Chains A and B, each alone.
Chain A
Amino acid sequence: MLAYRGGDARAFETLYSRHRARLFRFVLRSIKVRALAEELYQEVWMRVIEARASYKPSARFTTWLYTIAHNRLVDHWRRGGLPLVSLDDHDAPSSTPDPAHHAEARETLARFAEALEKLPPAQREAFLLHEEAGLSVPEIAAATASNEEAAKSRLRYAMAKLKAALDDG
């Protein structure tokens, strides 16, 4: 990010390729409508571009990036609630050509999506930040502007509920 701040556009390409899929999934699983998720995803990256001059390497770039994403999501939630993305709305490309496996995967995905949908927003966000961004508990706390105890608790509850959903299946 420092290189990009200095005018190196290739540095941004590297950053983008490293984080694009994870960030997109984080946003997509937080918002129900895919078009809206894409819009929000684009807004997050535009914010990164605009705020490059004010970027300070005091924390990991990942934490900074997901802090921006969290803030954009909070804005979105404030505007119109929190609909969870319906994963059935789009056909995810599957790497498994086997139809039986594909069906099972879809079933698992649906069950998992249902479990995710039932999670409170804060717990879902903590889970997504952990799984998608690879953030630790302190980093989740920093990205969501909360304390470590709260972040840890949210993540633990989310994991427990998702595990219960999987076990039920």
Chain B
Amino acid sequence: MKEIRIHARAGQGAITTAALLGTAAFIGGKYALAFPHFGAERMGAPMNAFVRLSDQVIRLRSQVYEPDYLIVLDPSLMRGFDVFEGFRPGGVAIINHHEKVQCPKPIQNIKVFTVPGNDIATEVLGRPIGNTTILGAFAAATNEFGLESLQQAILERFSGEVAKKNAEAARRGYEYIKERCLR
């Protein structure tokens, strides 16, 4: 079973991100559990979404404390807060940022990818909403599901032009990782 922790602010689409991640895994034949955990009920409040992926039915309901994968949708969350808490050795982190990020602690065999998701999204979608781009990067960096599964999940979730553009943003995120010869 793989555990994923997503760091975001309320209103940035972390739940949609988790849902799309789970849907992509489901389309790829896995079981997935995705759920949010809120702090204050206001826009901009730091919050988490969690996802578990497995070949078997998922029964564990607690939050994720030792993630295999980390997704940070808003880099300002790293200000005075350790998003890498509990990060497992061998884990993969995707940070939505245009400046390189390093994990403050030495953890064995981790890979930290910094992807300018909001910049790519601004090009493709016209808005700096980098979730789908980051999900494309996640697919490429972890191989938990293919780009096709992710795009199908996106096309099911959204409709019309929004769906097509988000599917394209996902592809751009995917290629961003692939081009940098990682995996």
Is A bound to B?
Answer: no
